[in-house]
Amino acid sequence: MALFRQLDEQVDQLLDLFKKDENWLIVINADPDALGSALALRRMMARRVNAVAIAQINEIKRPDNLSMIRYCRIPTQKLIPNLAAQYDKFALVDSQPHHNPEFKPFQFSVVIDHHPLQQENLVQADFVDIRPKYGAVCTMMTEYLYNMNIRPAKLLATALMYGIRCDTKTFEREFIDADMAAFKYLSKFADSKLMNRISRSEFHLDWMRYFSRAFYNLRRIGHGLFAHCGNVDNPDILVIVADFFTRVHNVPWVVVSGTADDKLVCIFRGDGLRRDMGTMAQKLMNGLGSAGGHKQAARAEVELSALDGVDPEIFMLKRLGQGRKSAIRRI
């Protein structure tokens, strides 16, 4: 029995796109899955194109992401117009073009992702591979490397393994057999000590004050929890806080919100049993901003100007409390 699925047709189609005289830019919204996937795609393009680089649309401030970049030597840089102008072709991994307004200026030739498909936003590209059942795009890229007979070097294997670990939350979120197979396969080549060093770099000391705010503002809404952290230096702080609250006993879903860069940012987490967090995020925002994600994890961002002067915390309480006002209470 083969370790991974056969991808002969997909590999041929993908490699046919790479020309020796072209310069490619791999665009990401940087997180561990995106970083590992981009590094793998860069390896696949090596010696097949004139030049290939990685650029992220977001500012990377989360310590574990910075550690991953440092220790796995991922050559990513901030995407700016002058940088993009140097490249002929563009690839997108761990996202789809409609996921962020900053992707709109680009005509992507390659899109590889695992987020849910939206019929109203079908992806148009020369090569599209979107598998919503997969726990991580790093799993998909591991399958491509295997089918291309490329054995991942230590740093690449570590980055891919860490991406799978993060996006599946060490297999607590939804995953399939391929995710487990990729994780096991990569463990033969990865540096486990290096991965542990990355994973232990999750918090900045000054982020502890946001936990204090979240505890003070924590409310029970129905069976779930909601906390507003106010203005934050970095939206990644909200992810850390939301993931922490998922460990509370008998709480099926959690929403943590805050404001940053003139936006209301909301992080949704669920147990995957009662509510679909991606659907919940979309319904809650009702087209006001970008929203979506997986059954167990989602994110929404809304410009503060779209709230018509309503306090962001009050806005969230009203949205979350529709139909259950009597069930909102402080913890």
What is the CB neighbour count within 10 angstroms for residue 41?
Answer: 25
Residues 126 and 88 both lie in one domain = yes
Q: Which of 174, 200, 226 is a domain's end point?
A: 200
**CA-to-CA distance for 92 and 48, rounded, in angstroms?**
18
**CA-to-CA distance for 228 and 238, rounded, in angstroms?**
9
Residue 3 lies in a domain: no
Residues 179 and 39 both lie in one domain = yes
pTM for this prediction: 0.72
Residue 2 lies in a domain: no
Q: Which of 200, 223, 251 is a domain's end point?
A: 200
Relative to beta strand 127-130, strand 110-113 is: parallel
**CA-to-CA distance for 142 and 303, rounded, in angstroms?**
37
Residue 287: give its domain's CATH number: 3.10.310.40
Residues 75 and 143 both lie in one domain = yes
Residues 153 and 246 both lie in one domain = no
Residues 103 and 145 both lie in one domain = yes
Residues 215 and 196 both lie in one domain = no
Residues 54 and 78 both lie in one domain = yes
Give 268's Cβ-side CA count (13 Å radius).
25
**What is the full per-residue pLDDT of the chain (331 aa) written as tens digits?**
467 888 899 999 999 999 999 999 999 999 999 999 999 999 999 999 999 999 999 989 888 899 999 999 999 999 999 999 999 999 999 999 988 889 989 999 999 999 988 887 888 899 999 999 999 999 999 999 999 999 999 999 999 999 999 988 878 778 889 999 999 999 999 999 998 889 877 777 788 899 999 999 999 998 899 999 999 988 888 998 999 999 899 899 999 999 998 999 999 999 878 788 988 998 888 878 888 788 888 999 999 999 988 999 999 999 898 745 546 677 6
For the chain, how many structural domains are there in total?
A: 2
Tens digits of per-residue pLDDT, 25-84? 999 999 999 999 999 999 999 999 999 999 999 989 888 899 999 999 999 999 999 999
Residues 116 and 194 both lie in one domain = yes
139 lies in which domain range?
8-200
